[in-house]
Chains A and B, each alone.
Chain A
Amino acid sequence: MVNLAELTRDIRSGMVPAYVYNDADLFTLERDHLFARSWVFLAHESEIPSPGDYVVRRIVDDSFIVVRDEQGVVRVLFNMCLHRGMQLCRAELGNSSHFRCPYHGWSYKNDGRLIGLPFHGDAYGGDRGLVKKEQRLLPAPAVDSYRGLVFASLDPDVVPLRDYLGDFTFYLDFYLNQSPDGIELRGPQRWRIKSNWKIGAENFCGDSYHTPQTHTSVVEVGLFAEPKANKRKEGALYFAGRGGGTTYKLPPGTFEEKLRYVGYPDEMITRMRQNWTPEQQRVVAEDGFMVSAATAFPNLSFVHNWPQINADGLIRPFISLRQWQPVSESETEVLSWYAVDANAPDYYKEESYKAYLMCFGSSGMFEQDDVENWVSITSTAKGAMARRLLLNSRMGLGLDDDVISQKPPSFSGPGRAYVGYGEHNQRSWLSLWSQHLGYSGDPAEHSPVPAGDAAGEGDR
């Protein structure tokens, strides 16, 4: 079995036991503790705009119907018939006023209430044997949303979503709140990779160091110039609340000039100016940083890049949301959506979609190289030797846990920020992860988080 005290101590010292990326016992702990208590992303409201629209999504092994009922309320219903446990909805999306079980015909309104019970009188003696109106599909224990992102938790006592996300919402809004109507999603593309789910989540929350190496080819063919080593290291890494991410440093200029540089048309920039707080605008205009990859703990990631999408040199940014859905300790289902400001002009939506397809998703040129790495890590982490190896994840710390990384000259966002390469974010993510595995001791007594990795509230 896993020694959680030792594991937590190692993680907090920045030395990551290699086996964590392929271990069945740990996967059980993740399922029973981490995914049973966290807020887990299920869908965006734009995927189910009309009454009756539904998508079917999972939290590890639990299938949920995320449906907009006839009153317009988004419901999250456990996808199992109350009678004999049949999987009620076997499509992955659609529109329906009700869901009928194929086994014995119990049927439920799209708000979860049982409305049809064949032979109710003959079989149950009517309400004498089974009170029909008291029956409803099991709802997710907790449901909450942030700017249209619908999350559920298996823990009815989970803290409210906004408290859970904390100051990370400041950074989420760069992706989600470019105009008053928020984003709309297309997708997801879904595919399965023989990789542990944590690797992608960690990578997106802070690994700017991999970009110049892993994604060399993308720079070489002129698709996206920013990952060049000399540019990538100028970006800031931030961590706040339940999430962290990477940024790129933009060339000097005003707010408008910087957003034009990444390819936004003026009408969208005007709305960002109106919609973002003065602090959010300062991150772009004065601090000079533009968000790129990020992860909301545990397994929802974001990316924002700005490739060249045609031979004339047109630059367009895109946003992608992606979920690292755990299948087993060695397999992950990736769900990758294209996201765009709902108020963006149609021509922009199409050009940005093209930018997304070239870079990320099942055929994306960035994604291809990432996944190859992650599959290789997972297979190598399986054996006995991986149990003897602590992976050095101490970048940004000195040998005495002193912080080597520099703070940005100015940074207007909340939480902790460093400029340049560093693994502070991955350590923060892994610390959160280890705290969610059910260990009851207080590892901080034995091994405090290095000061440079402290949660960072008030630490600018």
Chain B
Amino acid sequence: MTSVTSTAAPAPLPYTSERHLLAWQWLVEEAHLFDRQRYTDWLGLLCEDIHYQMPVRVTTAKNAGFDRLAGMSHFDEDLYSLRKRVARFETEHAWTEDPPSRLRHYVSNVRTFATDDPAELRVESYVLVFRSRGDVRESALLSAGRVDVLREAGDGGLRLADRMIEVDESVLRMQNLGIFL
């Protein structure tokens, strides 16, 4: 399987290439599902062996050699735990999202790389999430980079096999991660 931490291919695929365009479209369509909170549909886009991770970023000296906490993430999910999270949102008692947030996932800076596995693409993107809750509360923003592995499925579509979310704040200014990104 392609690793999200493997060194990047020398150059991304040309922005005109069909594989890049398909990956880019996949990310935009995924953002569409997120913003409409169609999370059950989103689960259908995940591989059985999905690893969905968002490490805790920390503020460290330039020469420290690390800017993530060891052994602690905001998300470190497999398909079971993602299904539970989605199932919870589907109940009538997930108060944190009732009334629901208004969400926009702005996806940009998409770069697609071929990998050693012809069935897999490595896709980098930026995502900026705008979240508004209630009528008078201040809105919240979350900025992150993502490195994904998209795998071709039997039906010709792409599925998410791995996502590493690199969040840009060490102290999140969002009341919870009752969202996906």
Residues of A within 8 A of B (CB): 90-96, 186-195, 214, 216-218, 220-223, 309-311, 333, 338, 353-354, 357-358, 361-365, 367-369, 371-373, 375, 379
Contact = CB atoms under 8 A, between A and B. Distances in A.
Contacts of B73: 357
Given A90-B59, A190-B171, A363-B75, A368 B84 contact: no
Contacts of A367: 176
Interface stretch (B4-12, B25-33, B93-101, B121-129): B93-101
A94 B171 CA distance: 17
Given A187-B72, A218-B88, A311-B80, A192 B94 contact: no
A217 B75 contact: no
A363 B58 contact: no
Given A92-B60, A94-B61, A354-B81, A191 B95 contact: no
Given A216-B91, A357-B81, A372 B56 contact: no
Max count, chain B CB within 10 A of own CB: residue among A364, A368, A375: A368
B85 interface: yes
B14 interface: no
Interface string B69-109: 11111111100110011011001011110000000000000
A72 to B, nearest CB: 21
Given A91-B60, A367-B176, A353 B87 contact: no
B181 to A, nearest CB: 11
A192 B94 CA distance: 21
13 contacts: A91-B64, A92-B60, A95-B64, A186-B71, A191-B175, A191-B176, A192-B171, A217-B88, A222-B84, A223-B88, A333-B171, A372-B96, A372-B176
B74 A371 contact: no
A92 B84 contact: no
Which are the 9 A-B pairs with shortest beta-carbon distances? A363-B177, A191-B172, A216-B93, A368-B96, A372-B96, A217-B93, A221-B87, A217-B91, A368-B176
Interface residues of B, number: 39
B36 to A, nearest CB: 19
Question: Which label, helix, strand, loop or mixed, suits the secondary structure of the A interface?
Answer: mixed
B1 interface: no
Contacts of A309: 80-81
Contact of A365 (B58, B59, B85, B170): B85
A94 B60 contact: yes
Contacts of A311: 80
Contact of A363 (B61, B64, B74): B74
A354 B91 CA distance: 22
A379 B138 CA distance: 11
Contacts of A361: 74
Given A92-B170, A95-B64, A363-B74, 4 more contacts: A91-B64, A93-B58, A365-B85, A368-B94
Max count, chain B CB within 10 A of own CB: residue among A91, A193, A223: A91
Contacts of B95: 214, 217, 369, 372-373
Contacts of B75: 357, 363
A222 B71 CA distance: 26
Nearest to A95: B64
